[in-house]
Chains A and B, each alone.
Chain A
Amino acid sequence: MPISNENIIVADNLTISYDLHRERKKLIALQDINLEIKKGEFVVLVGPSGCGKTSFINAVSGLIPKSGGSVKVRGEEVTAPGPDRAMVFQDYALLPWRTVESNIRLPYELQNLGISEEEKKQRVKNCLELVDLAGFEKSFPYELSGGMKQRVGIARALATNPDILLADEPFAAIDAMTREAMQAEMERIVMETGQTCVFITHSIDEAILLGDRVVVISYRPGKIKEIVNIDFPRPRMNNSEVKISKTYAELRDHIWNLVKDEAMQTTRGE
């Protein structure tokens, strides 16, 4: 799906802070973030641990309040979660007492989307096929491998047919081989559905392979350091030319240089 010129998410001077009760202080996680994300775009956020990437995604989803500025989705201020935004979690966040199918149906039970029972069934079936899990409807999450669990998480996020897919380090807990396969899957799904995707990762390779733009965020307070455009044609995942190209190496080096100092800082705990 080609990217349109219409902005779907607009963050305007967005600031997010947390109360540190014990010290009676406020910790500013994100400061003055200005970011416009276009419909159909795949934006990847990269930055050191604790720089506020998750806070950004949580603010877009409506899970946490903002302390300054604004986030608008399709021109409307975000105040609460909504069916147009779905989220994929790092630790999958599947309800362990529900089967795969029942987990994917969860969004239908929690909100009235005005769709018929027939269509719900059809959509669950489509979602399961899209993530290659047909035949596992009656399995419980604890019976699945990590990669399969996350595919259930993705299927659940796709169930409401959201415009925006928010992914918070979805493949962080998955082994390296499965991870590559999952990245290909993610690219294919987002291409097929034409969704806008905001994706957090710590892997620079993942960022370059998946993102149309890579937003590098600095550490304490989180600010946008640079936005890097990635111009490789899609699909990139099964295209071996991408990874061995000179541009790829240059981009990788460039982004590493941007985050290097920050990453070193976090290890020293400054």
Chain B
Amino acid sequence: MELSQRRSNADYERGIEMAKATEQIQYETDDPNRIQDVGWTFKEVWRRTRGFVVTSVNLIIFFILWEIVTTYGNINSLFLPKASAMFQELWVGMTTRAPEGAVFSGSILDHFLHSFTNLMTGLAIAMAIGIPGGLLMGGNKYVESILSPYVWALASLPRIALVPLFILFLGFTTTMQVTIIVISAVFPIVINAWAGVKTTEKSLLAAAKVFGANRVQLYYKVVLPYTLPFIISGIQQGIGRGLIGVVIAELFGGSNGLGYLIQRSADTFNTAMTFAVLLLLIVMSLSLINFTRWLEAKVAPWRNVNHL
């Protein structure tokens, strides 16, 4: 029998009829009340806010215990100041500025602004180098094999070992501090972007090719969006490393910044100030990292990463 005879027009028409009939049935079984409104109950409010409430209560208890122990225990405030003293130092330090022409500023805000500006500048430079660098390494075999030994060598070197060298090159300057931040933050960004390109799912590339993508479109429509969450998590690691870079650079060589302030306040037995700066560093670091997490969830909701 010929193929054409086997599948006649009558068959075709019967098929359409049947297909329509099955569709009808499917629509009838679709219950419009399937999605129902759930009102605001106490349980629902608690479920959504419990994380925040528990953390807040936890921290309040922690600081109260600290205060009790330092007030009634026999503890030298040189080693452990009262929690209230630390908060007071932080408040005063963040609300006052050094007078015009002061040689040394005791204001935390001044030092914070210096460190924060350095960190941001360093991160911006690290991103400007790291993102295109990583993408190129992932995309081009030659660039990869030329650059990868240097990237791995520098990435595996403890960055602190380079500080004396940079001080020698650049002196005790802001440029030196920013350079150390860049060197600290750039490698996680490079390596993550590189890995992102390399791990792009083959089937997504195949799909794009089948539907007509040329090389440029392949990068623009598939590889880049796929790599974006990798880049963000690289930046997240970069922030952590960058902060280490900030403190190290200021501890070793500088006369301003939070790292210097820690050193200075410890040297002058102002332990409350030291603790205040440490607390500020924690808050700053957590805020930045949470911002990148929020950003990651925003741009890549499909990754659905369960954070620690």
A interface SS class: loop
B212 CB → nearest A CB, Å:
3
Collect the chain A residues with CB atoms within 8 Å of residue B228's CB.
Answer: 97
Collect the chain B residues with CB atoms within 8 Å of residue A187's CB.
Answer: 15
Asked whether any CB of chain B lies closer than 8 Å to the CB of A132, the reply is yes
The 6 A-B residue pairs with the shortest CB-CB distance in the complex, in nearest-first order: A111-B212, A96-B302, A93-B207, A188-B19, A107-B211, A93-B203
Q: Take A3-B3, A38-B3, A93-B207 as given contacts and tell me if A83 and B212 are in contact as well, using a CB distance cutoff of 8 Å.
A: yes
Question: In the complex the two chains form, is B212's CB within 8 Å of A132's CB?
Answer: no
Chain B residues 213-271 with CB under 8 Å of chain A are 213-214, 217, 221-222, 225-226, 228
The number of residue pairs between A and B whose CB atoms lie closer than 8 Å in the complex comes to 115
Question: In the complex the two chains form, is A89's CB within 8 Å of B213's CB?
Answer: no
Among A83, A93, A132, A156, chain B packs the most CB atoms within 10 A around the CB of A93
Docked complex Cα distance between A231 and B301 (Å): 48
Kindly specify which of A45-53, A68-76, A202-210, A233-241 makes contact with the partner chain: A233-241
B51 CB → nearest A CB, Å:
23
Q: Take A96-B302, A235-B18 as given contacts and tell me if A2 and B9 are in contact as well, using a CB distance cutoff of 8 Å.
A: yes
Q: Take A2-B4, A109-B221 as given contacts and tell me if A81 and B19 are in contact as well, using a CB distance cutoff of 8 Å.
A: no
Partner of B204, one of A41, A82, A93: A93
Partner of B206, one of A86, A93, A95, A231: A93
Partner of A81, one of B1, B15, B16, B209: B209
Question: In the complex the two chains form, is B19's CB within 8 Å of A192's CB?
Answer: yes
Question: In the complex the two chains form, is A235's CB within 8 Å of B19's CB?
Answer: yes
Asked whether any CB of chain B lies closer than 8 Å to the CB of A15, the reply is no
Asked whether any CB of chain B lies closer than 8 Å to the CB of A85, the reply is yes
Task: Using CB atoms, name the residue of chain B closest to A38.
Answer: B3
Question: In the complex the two chains form, is A86's CB within 8 Å of B211's CB?
Answer: yes
Question: In the complex the two chains form, is B207's CB within 8 Å of A1's CB?
Answer: no
Asked whether any CB of chain A lies closer than 8 Å to the CB of B29, the reply is no
Docked complex Cα distance between A231 and B212 (Å): 36
Among A96, A111, A142, chain B packs the most CB atoms within 10 A around the CB of A96
One digit per residue, 1 when the CB lies within 8 angstroms of any chain B CB and 0 when it does not, for chain A 50-92 equals 0000000000010100000000000000000111011101110
Number of B residues with CB within 8 Å of any CB on chain A: 41
Chain B residues 186-215 with CB under 8 Å of chain A are 201, 203-204, 206-214
Task: Using CB atoms, name the residue of chain B closest to A4.
Answer: B4
Asked whether any CB of chain B lies closer than 8 Å to the CB of A5, the reply is yes
Chain B residues 1-38 with CB under 8 Å of chain A are 1-4, 6-9, 11-12, 14-16, 18-19, 22-23, 26
Docked complex Cα distance between A156 and B203 (Å): 15
Asked whether any CB of chain B lies closer than 8 Å to the CB of A177, the reply is no
Collect the chain B residues with CB atoms within 8 Å of residue A89's CB.
Answer: 203, 206-207
Asked whether any CB of chain A lies closer than 8 Å to the CB of B129, the reply is no
B272 CB → nearest A CB, Å:
48
Asked whether any CB of chain B lies closer than 8 Å to the CB of A147, the reply is no
- 7 CB < 8 A contacts A-B: A1-B12, A110-B221, A191-B12, A191-B19, A192-B16, A235-B14, A238-B22
One digit per residue, 1 when the CB lies within 8 angstroms of any chain B CB and 0 when it does not, for chain A 1-15 equals 111110000000000
Question: In the complex the two chains form, is A63's CB within 8 Å of B18's CB?
Answer: no
Collect the chain A residues with CB atoms within 8 Å of residue B8's CB.
Answer: 2
Question: In the complex the two chains form, is A41's CB within 8 Å of B210's CB?
Answer: no
Collect the chain B residues with CB atoms within 8 Å of residue A184's CB.
Answer: 22
Collect the chain A residues with CB atoms within 8 Å of residue B6's CB.
Answer: 3, 212, 231
Q: Take A83-B212, A234-B15 as given contacts and tell me if A97 and B3 are in contact as well, using a CB distance cutoff of 8 Å.
A: no
Partner of A111, one of B11, B14, B211, B302: B211
Docked complex Cα distance between A86 and B11 (Å): 26
Task: Using CB atoms, name the residue of chain B closest to A90.
Answer: B203
Collect the chain B residues with CB atoms within 8 Å of residue A234's CB.
Answer: 7, 11-12, 14-15
Docked complex Cα distance between A191 and B15 (Å): 7
A108 CB → nearest B CB, Å:
9
Task: Using CB atoms, name the residue of chain B closest to A81.
Answer: B210
Collect the chain A residues with CB atoms within 8 Å of residue B225's CB.
Answer: 95, 97
Q: Take A192-B19, A212-B7, A234-B15 as given contacts and tell me if A110 and B213 are in contact as well, using a CB distance cutoff of 8 Å.
A: yes
One digit per residue, 1 when the CB lies within 8 angstroms of any chain B CB and 0 when it does not, for chain A 208-231 equals 000010000000000000000001
Q: Take A81-B211, A110-B221, A235-B15 as given contacts and tell me if A3 and B23 are in contact as well, using a CB distance cutoff of 8 Å.
A: no
Partner of A87, one of B2, B19, B210, B304: B210
B33 CB → nearest A CB, Å:
15
Collect the chain A residues with CB atoms within 8 Å of residue B289's CB.
Answer: none
Collect the chain B residues with CB atoms within 8 Å of residue A4's CB.
Answer: 4
B175 CB → nearest A CB, Å:
39
Task: Using CB atoms, name the residue of chain A closest to B301.
Answer: A140
B123 CB → nearest A CB, Å:
24
Among B204, B225, B299, chain A packs the most CB atoms within 10 A around the CB of B204
